[in-house]
Chains A and B, each alone.
Chain A
């Protein structure tokens, strides 16, 4: 750990609450989202979406539509760069998903555009389709794409290949077990089979986790136009500078010719991390018709095109010794994807099992199967959170069968800081899950509460639950960029998006902390690439807090050295004779030798070159280099790449406790108490953390018991294209209070001790609620979400309406 790190030192900003700059505009309604922008000459675009799960369009005649007054133009697959499978096309004549865009119409009004779409004469040739991955793996089963049905683990690392399993595998498995054919992806540690032989308890269950929509409140509307050869895009994204290279590639222009504006984002949850086809489609239409083009994406379109969490069908086998130590774990996941390259949820799930429960021996097998359902993409805690909902109730079951306290079995199996896990021998930067359990148990009063488990009051019964989750919550290697200008203020250029977590602002405080600049004299520049925003990772993976306190730290440390050198150059002496404090650079032996930050900025502009950003390190990313043109000459400019030490996963951990009262007559329950405890290193922003832990808990409740996508297997139609159909939790489905806290132990690989938390905060709450439901009902459902109908059937001793591995229900 570097001496310059601030861990253990008194900090003025880190760990303190503040009001991020976007709070007031959000409250007052003055913040401008993509749809709020207008541009002179702007027209509107509407998309023609495929009405079936897979088709070849054999005829597309738009002549009648184009002849309508007010219709400006059409964009077809011929007008945009082609996409090879398993990429997701912008427009296509071979739509492989219900709702995949075929063409788009631009018109003076949306009403005209909509009318015009109905006058396009389209002939569809329906194609075989598949919605259930196991059906695609069955011999002779349909492939969702012409190029194959499985992504990942193929021969020669091909992006997609075809895999069919022997019918015998299916026949032997029957309906109650996952058929387990040859796995495209497989790893193991130790001797799993031998460990099961010796286990005191073996639990072996099939499971399903449903695919669910990201359901962002703001659909992915886009405004695009071209000016002076530059492509301007107003988008809804959770990332900022991460978008730049992808948009440049998509539009086939240089980085310098992309202007990306995304100051606000009404939710992304993983599905707005990177550029998406609608953005390109809008910009290509704007280019073709030479007009600014706005597309306001509808709710139903968002359900088709806004991404869904990959669902799992799986089999998990866990072995325990008599003390409750997990000695063996065997996990097989068949992951459902959309008609495109899948996400890595299944592998992440395996990693989470390996870390959170530290099985002595473990095997993972997985297959990621493409289907003709919507684009599947990472959603908050991709893989880790599904895994938490699968394994945590089974930890309860193991504890009960072995006669061990449910918290004790978790404590016994939870990792220490020196953990080495998975086939990669991965390590962590820090680990305080045990401490999170302890803190949560203390606040929840576990000992007292567990005595209430099963207590009945008429038809009501008490259930007590506990759960945890993990996410690798921090990255490194990105750039920091700050400037001090002649107004004497510190400008922190943030390439972080505004997902809604306020971490774009919290991480900027790192630079002010290092330089001792008051927050009132710190300006956060963000949300518009013309501010000159440095390269950083997408705002996903709970990484921003860890990643960008590092980038701003390195930039601020560099700035400090520049200021000292500049002062020495101007005032005499050596750089080491100076310190940066009280918003000035002052000689530590002679206080009269001092230079204000404003003067330093003016001097830097005079000197130019390396001082004002005209020259910069060559190891910066191209995005940062492109950003420098907006910054150079404005003051003293420090740009630096994060080359600080990092090894292992910056493990963000969360533990949650929950008490419910379940009505055995209705299958409904009230969540009487819930808490959510973070191991997120040093707390960066207490209110922001509280918001993440509570918001995560709400979303976790949705994952556990509400959110899902439903499809009719006969025709591929989707039953869930509205918020009232997918049913994210309402205010009355969550507890009125969700207690939060953090162990607040620093991560040694971050200069401030900070690491992320957003994603595990969801999985922990989901797992705790499922644990409580199982506790109240005595049933382990092995499926999410657990709907009231499942609880009613279980309590009535009835079979469920679906088979154990059935999906899309």
Chain B
């Protein structure tokens, strides 16, 4: 509402070590800024007030796309979404990620926004964004999960005091592709599987990822496993550009002679983390990729969902998207 940033120290390092060092020095008051598309909103709204902002845009080693020995690809976390969307290797081998990147926000935002920033972005719960003292903001209540809370965009699964969802389009794609996240922090480099990178409120209610203060996500490593698979990505949002998903779904299928050999399916917008649809995968693996299998799988897609006041539409939507993904 204020549209006016409070003061902070701005650090613009030229290399990763300096960035990690600056973030480490700043501790809890540090803020790693990637494309800045979300960070600047937080600051201008005066809701997040870091003491030190470390602008990663000058760290050249964080950008770029390179093929790896296992037939996969390694993407620098600061690579823009436009570059991910337009990269020939990604388009050819991991089309689901190119499709997902191409559906993020708007072209202008994709030109500046980064893959690392997009998958690591914070929850869009409007109460949280308004600066209210909710659990996620360190308070002791949830405004959305109340008898009359306005929670159309919120979760079906994994509620734990907080009912926010992952709003990322690319997160579901990297989870489907079973990517690894390379993180560099004060203690050095470590690698985390996508399945472990995203965390729910039951693990830490104030974070969406495992990134700790001082950590920088440096690379997203896509293994060769799903290269050239049959991919599916669909995002259902109110608007066809500049909007967050109501529900999105990313799928990778290996189909031989009409039979589903293997499948990886992830749903976004229904849980705080990208929801891997393992049950659906188990049901369809080894079955024909047809309408019958799709319909069978759909019945289990949303099993266990706990809808809130305004979001039960996500149940049939999940089911329909599963059908779409499997029937191809």
Q: A residues near B, CB below 8 A? A: 46, 49, 99, 110-111, 114-115, 117-118, 296, 298-301, 304, 459, 664-668, 706, 710-715, 717, 719, 721, 724-725, 727, 729-733, 787-790, 792-793, 795-796, 798, 801-802, 809
Contact = CB atoms under 8 A, between A and B. Distances in A.
Among A706, A712, A787, A793, residue most surrounded by chain B Cβ atoms (within 10 Å): A712
B3 A298 contact: yes
A711 B152 CA distance: 12
A109 to B, nearest CB: 9
19 contacts: A46-B2, A111-B4, A111-B6, A111-B7, A115-B6, A304-B1, A666-B236, A666-B324, A667-B313, A712-B148, A712-B149, A713-B148, A725-B126, A788-B313, A789-B311, A792-B316, A798-B312, A798-B313, A809-B150
Contacts of B239: 706, 727, 729-730, 732-733
B313 A114 contact: no
A732 B240 CA distance: 6
B242 A710 contact: no
B241 interface: yes
Among A117, A668, A729, A798, residue most surrounded by chain B Cβ atoms (within 10 Å): A668
Given A111-B5, A714-B149, A725-B126, 17 more contacts: A46-B2, A46-B4, A117-B2, A298-B3, A664-B320, A668-B240, A712-B148, A712-B150, A717-B143, A721-B130, A727-B239, A727-B243, A730-B241, A787-B238, A788-B236, A789-B313, A802-B310
A665 B7 CA distance: 48
A506 to B, nearest CB: 33
Nearest to A717: B130
A801 B4 contact: no
A491 B28 CA distance: 65
A411 B191 CA distance: 69
B156 to A, nearest CB: 13
Interface string B121-141: 000001100101000000000
A272 B127 CA distance: 30
Contacts of A789: 152, 246, 310-311, 313, 317
Contacts of A788: 236, 238, 246, 313
Contacts of A798: 312-313, 316
B161 interface: no
B96 interface: no
Contact of A719 (B150, B234, B320): B150
Contacts of A717: 127, 130, 132, 143
B316 A796 contact: yes
Contact of A710 (B1, B150, B317): B150
A668 B324 CA distance: 14
Contacts of A732: 239-241
Interface string B232-257: 00101011111110100000000000
A719 B150 CA distance: 8
Contacts of A793: 312-313, 316
Instruction: Give the secondary structure class of B's interface.
Output: loop
Contacts of A809: 150, 152, 310
Contacts of A713: 148
B93 interface: no
Contacts of A712: 127, 143, 148-150
Interface residues of B, number: 41
Contacts of B234: 666
A114 B106 CA distance: 30
Interface string B290-301: 000000000000
A801 B148 contact: no
Contacts of A795: 316
A110 B4 contact: yes
Given A666-B236, A725-B126, A801-B310, A715 B317 contact: no
A55 B7 CA distance: 31
Given A727-B239, A733-B240, A788-B238, A721 B312 contact: no
Contacts, number: 124
A801 B149 contact: no
B118 to A, nearest CB: 15
A267 to B, nearest CB: 18
Interface in B119-178: 126-127, 130, 132, 143, 146-150, 152
7 closest A-B pairs by CB: A732-B240, A298-B3, A796-B316, A665-B320, A789-B313, A300-B1, A114-B4
Contacts of A664: 320
B68 interface: no
B236 A714 contact: no
Nearest to A664: B320
Contacts of B311: 789, 801
Nearest to B236: A666
A802 B310 CA distance: 7
A507 B145 CA distance: 55
Given A712-B148, A730-B241, A665 B324 contact: yes
A298 B1 contact: yes
Interface string B1-21: 111111100000000000000
A790 B246 CA distance: 13
A49 B1 contact: yes
Contacts of B152: 789, 801, 809
Contacts of B238: 706, 727, 787-788
A798 B239 CA distance: 23
B106 A730 contact: yes
B84 interface: no
A801 B143 contact: no
B324 A459 contact: yes
A801 B313 contact: yes
Contacts of B207: none
B45 to A, nearest CB: 8
B171 to A, nearest CB: 19
A303 B240 CA distance: 23
B1 A666 contact: no
B111 interface: no
B321 A665 contact: yes
A793 B6 CA distance: 44
A713 B149 CA distance: 8
B48 interface: no
Contacts of B1: 49, 99, 298, 300-301, 304, 721
A229 B320 CA distance: 68
Given A801-B312, A809-B310, A667 B149 contact: no
A690 B53 CA distance: 48
Contacts of A796: 313, 316
B46 interface: yes
Contacts of B240: 668, 730, 732-733
